[in-house]
Structure 1
């Protein structure tokens, strides 16, 4: 049901890299207000209050007791998502929660039930299927111009495993490692483009560095109920980088750094302790010395690795300014304006859900389906066999409810 309100007030829980990166999208939306933030880092709270003249709280409980807050963006570690979603849902706050939704399917189910019981929307983002190039790929697929989709591939090689990490990010049972943390992006992209319903997967994962004891690479074959075949290949060990194949454009949209070869791996190997590594990670968060200026517009849409869709009558891939379509008779480009971003699309999805009654695509059940692929990929690798999936859902087409 559409709301009588015309705008929503959002509070951010967690001002690390994820929380900081969402701030410009919230500010850019004409009907969404950046109203508050919660974190246990007092220095960040003070800076946030000064920068945005917004309320600050030490805990999510305090923020959710604020009657002026309509929705929360939960950007806390994965193992805290279940409890933080419970707090927000019981306070009747609409929710955006970072990916992956949870560590287990049981936790995911409880979060879905809590949101539905309390009448609030639960959306998972930022996931890379929100990005305009992926959305445009889906639009071309849905148009039928290139015929039926045959296969989808997302291959990504980078330095993920050697970027500064907190301890839980290197523990698989807490949702760490590339299969949980980055596979959730890959599977989200592939499922959106393939129709959503994965039938089965066969995967191989590996832990190549005993000092980083979690999955650092995976190769996953997915077969959809509709017959589409897909692969998700990820290697985060900082050797070859996919940017060599994506016009030197990386995940955040900028040109890839041209520094020392294997710079991330060398930096981490040179740290003296886990505490030093955590300090590096903290400095990359909001207000830190290594934080990115997210207010600065990127020159290109981001490349989450190399994504190629093959249809009966052509292939589609990204270009620096949009897409390249390799049709039967010609190769042509599709320009995509830079004003739209994936994070703006996240905020717009919660806005449309709350204010206009549009059922979100990236809801709890969609996120649980992505999580199931992550879990089954690790299980498939251990058992060395194909596994069938049970919690997959089709892609919803947004319908506005004006009742």
Structure 2
């Protein structure tokens, strides 16, 4: 492991599920320090101060006034991203912001411009293209050992719509629903593996539960400028789960209670009010009684659904220990060390951008291109036609650095 010549002090804005899940990666990276957190939840702040001896603030403005902080991880709801990025950038703090970057392309452009104007790095994550198996797929593709890529598919069936949700997560206009929230991951994976530049898109999205009236499923066909075809299929209605096809492993490592059919649907059905559902969601955040130990959860490489890459000379899919390659003459496993995680790669991409001047893959332009796919998927479904894209960018740099 190389010596890190500078330590970045990072503050977390928002200690919900996303903020809590990033803490182990910040702690594990030798070039950064978990220095502060901000949230309006007093109990979470008290626990954070006790557990990590960090600075605590009620607002992002207060956190960004601290001279200690070099960078912030913004893990707040999507509708706050534009304002929170502005606050951080004007305070000269480097930024990681949760996906999707925003809900409109205009807001995305404003965020990119304000980061550039203030000379700070803007990276969007955690998206699942940071995961080591996906990055290894990209490495194999770039090597040319399996020939040209023909097709890329990511199919994910799970219980997303029936996990406890806050109101904005079920409002499409605020960036809710599976196409914005989960399509962001799918399109990011597919674009990274396909070279980045999607030419056109044709999609059908669906709302099957009037009580949760946002997109709960989509089927999306993407064609790249280089001729690669791809599909992104997502269903969050808690019937069939893709874990039946991925060794029982989901996006957080081995699943618990995976044999309890429809438990998420039943939980929401038994929840008496929206207030009670929000309370369940809050309890899943940092320090809550339903919170996960994210450090312990990822004992296998996570599977964000079933990802298959088809090349001229073989196919690639994920395996609990890395990848399976179905070559012309043999099928073999490519092992990948489990010490590296996708979230650790998020932190490392920020570190390399700030300290070493390395252009990040997941910068604001990349995130805007990904957002365009989300927006056009919903639009394509409404208009029932193929749409062409205008803001796509190629993959700019290699992935898969070791820390």
- TM interval, short-chain normalised: over 0.9
Match of 1:309, SS state, is: strand
What does 1:174-193 correspond to in 2, within 5 Å? 174-193=174-193
Q: How does 1:325-344 map to 2 (within 5 A)?
A: 325-344=325-344
Contact 1:359 1:398 in 2 (8 A): no
Bigger shift: residues 258-267 or 56-65: 258-267
TM-score w.r.t. structure 2 length?
0.97
Q: What's 2:324 paired with?
A: 324
Indicate the residue corresponding to 2:394 in structure 1.
394
Query: Is the contact made by 1:360 and 1:398 (CA closer than 8 Å) also made in structure 2?
Result: no
Q: Which residue of 1 aligns with 2:21?
A: 21
Across the aligned residues of Structure 1 and Structure 2, the Cα RMSD in angstroms comes to: 1.1
Q: Across the two proteins, how many residue pairs are aligned to each other?
A: 396
Which residue number corresponds to residue 119 of structure 2? 119
Tell me the distance in 1 between the aligned counterparts of 2:297 and 2:303: 15
**Residue 170 in structure 1 maps to residue 170 in structure 2:** yes
Check whether the contact 2:254–2:297 (CA below 8 A) recurs between aligned residues. no
Gaps in structure 2 of 5+ consecutive residues? none
1:365 — aligned with what?
A: 365
Matched position secondary structure for 2:295:
coil
1: CA distance, partners of 2:122 / 2:95: 5
Q: What is the rounded CA distance, in whole Å, between the counterparts of 2:209 and 2:297 in structure 1?
A: 36
Cross-structure match for 1:356: 356
Where do 5+ consecutive residues of structure 1 fail to align?
A: none
Distance 1:260 1:30 in 2: 40
Q: Is the 8 A contact 2:361 2:395 kept in 1?
A: yes
1:295 CA displacement: 2.7
- 8 Å CA contact 2:130–2:343 kept in 1: the answer is yes
Asked if the contact 1:249/1:256 (under 8 Å) is kept, the reply is no
Determine the structure 1 residue equivalent to 2:211.
211
2:282 is matched with 282
2:51 is matched with 51
Q: Distance in 1 between matches of 2:295 and 2:328?
A: 41
Contact 1:250 1:256 in 2 (8 A): no
Distance 1:188 1:136 in 2: 15
Q: Which moved more, 1:293-302 or 1:128-137?
A: 293-302
Name the TM-score, length of structure 1 as normaliser: 0.97
Question: Which residue number corresponds to residue 110 of structure 2?
Answer: 110
Aligned-residue offset at 1:253 = 1.0
**Cα separation, 1, equivalents of 2:272 and 2:102:** 31
Deviation readout 1:356-395 (Å, 9 max, x if unpaired): 0001000000000000000000000000000000000000
Q: Distance in 1 between matches of 2:69 and 2:129?
A: 27
Task: Tell me the distance in 1 between the aligned counterparts of 2:386 and 2:56.
Answer: 48
What is the rounded CA distance, in whole Å, between the counterparts of 1:240 and 1:335 in structure 2?
Answer: 29
- CA displacement at 1:297 relative to structure 2: 5.4
SS at match of 2:211: coil
Question: Matched residue of 2:102: which SS?
Answer: coil
Once the two structures are superposed, residues 206-265 of structure 1 have per-residue CA deviations (whole angstroms, 9 ceiling, x without a partner) of 000000010000000000000000000000000000000000001101135334210000
Partner SS, residue 210 of structure 2 = coil
1:61 corresponds to: 61
Alignment of 1:125-136 (within 5 A): 125-136=125-136
Structure 1 pair 398–328 and aligned structure 2 pair: CA distance change class (3 A): closer
Deviation at 1:5, TM superposition (A): 6.1
Deviating beyond 2 angstroms after TM superposition, the runs of 4 or more aligned structure 1 residues are: 255-260
